[in-house]
Amino acid sequence: MSARRAWLAEFTWEMVTAQNAVLCAAKNALHKPTSDGHDATKELWESKHREVMRLDEAVDVCRRCHRLAPFCFFNGNTFVSIIALVVRALNLLADKAYVVRSLAGHIVAGVATDAEAKAFREFCEELDGGAA
Amino acid sequence: MKPAIDPKLLKNPLFQELMAEGLAMQDRFVAEPLYAKTGKGFLKSKGVEELKAIKSARKPKSK
C-alpha cells in the first residue's frame, strides 16, 4: 500500500461546496460562504487537493479547511465526511478501520487529544512501511 | 452562493457516498463554526454500538 497518494484528488471544491449545501439543507440551515474564510479555504483546497501527500497531510488539509470555516454552518461534517471516505478506501479490517476513522475524524473535527494525534501518526508510519 | 447542485454531481457515486456519510454523522456536529472561533472543535460521541458490533462479529461462534 502506497503511503503517498493524491488522497483528496477526487474531492473538487464544487463537491465540497455541494456537500455543505446538502448538510445545511438537511437542517434548514443557511448555506452561505463566510466573508473571512471562504476564499482562503477555497484557495488552500484547490492548491492542495490534487497533490500527492501522506495520509496525515491529507487529514491536516481537511482540519485546516474546517478551521478556516469557509461556510456559515456545518463546516465540521463537511470535511470530516471527506476524510471518512478517504479512510474507507483503505479497505482496512473493520476494527482497525473504526479506530483509524475515529482518529482521523477527531483530528479534522479539532477535538483530537495529543495521544490520538500520536496514534494516527504512528498508523501513517505503518502505511509508510507497508505494514497496514 | 447558488445552493442548486449540478445534477451531474448528484449522480456521481462518490458524491452520493459523501452525502450519505455526512448526513449519517450530522447529529454529532453543531452548526456553528466553533473550531474557527475558539480553536476547539466539537464532536459528540457516537457511543460504542458500532464497536460492539465489530467485536461481536469477530468473536468465534460458540459450539
Top residue of A10, A22, A92 to mutate, by most chain B CBs within 10 Å, is A22
A18 touching chain B per CB within 8 A: yes
Is residue B15, in this structure, part of any structural domain at all? no
Nearest Cα neighbor of B35 from A25, A92, A80, A94 is A80
Domain A4-129 fold is Four Helix Bundle (Hemerythrin (Met), subunit A) (1.20.120)
Size of interface A-B (CB pairs under 8 A): 115
Axis crossing angle, helix A94-109 with helix A55-68, rounded to the nearest 10 = 40
- Report the predicted TM-score, pTM, of the whole model to 2 decimal places: 0.90
CA distances from A33 to A38, A68, B21 (A): 6, 11, 22
The domain tally of chain B equals 1
Of all residues in chain A, the one with the smallest CA distance to B21 is: A81
User: B48 CA to chain A: closest CA distance, Å?
Assistant: 11
Confidence of residue B53 (pLDDT cuts 50, 70, 90): confident
Does residue B40 belong to any structural domain of this protein? yes
- Give residue B36's domain range: 28-63
- Cβ of B42: how many Cβ atoms within 10 Å? 15
Q: Please count the other Cβ atoms lying within 10 Å of the Cβ belonging to residue A61.
A: 22
Mean of pLDDT values over A104-129: 94
d(CA B31, CA A67): 13
Residue from A27, A34, A75, A102 to probe the interface with B (highest B Cβ count within 10 Å): A75
How far out from the chain centre does Cα A102 lie? Answer: 12
The ipTM of this complex is: 0.92
Q: H or E stretch including B55?
A: helix B49-58
Q: Do A77 and B29 touch (CB under 8 A)?
A: yes
- Pair B1, A31: CB distance under 8 Å: yes
What is d(CA A38, CA A57) in angstroms, rounded to the nearest whole number?
Answer: 21
The tens digit of pLDDT for each residue in A10-36 reads 999 999 999 999 999 999 999 999 999
| Strand intervals (E) in A4-94 | 4-5, 53-54
Asked whether the beta carbons of residue A109 and residue B41 sit closer than 8 angstroms, the reply is yes
Q: Could you tell me the sign of the dihedral formed by the alpha carbons of A57, A76, A113, A119, in that order?
A: negative
CA distances, A119 to each of A57, A82, A113, A123, B52 (Å): 15, 20, 10, 6, 21
Residue A41 touches partner B, C-beta closer than 8 Å: no
Q: How confident is the model over A43-78, as pLDDT tens digits?
A: 999 999 999 999 999 999 999 999 999 999 999 999
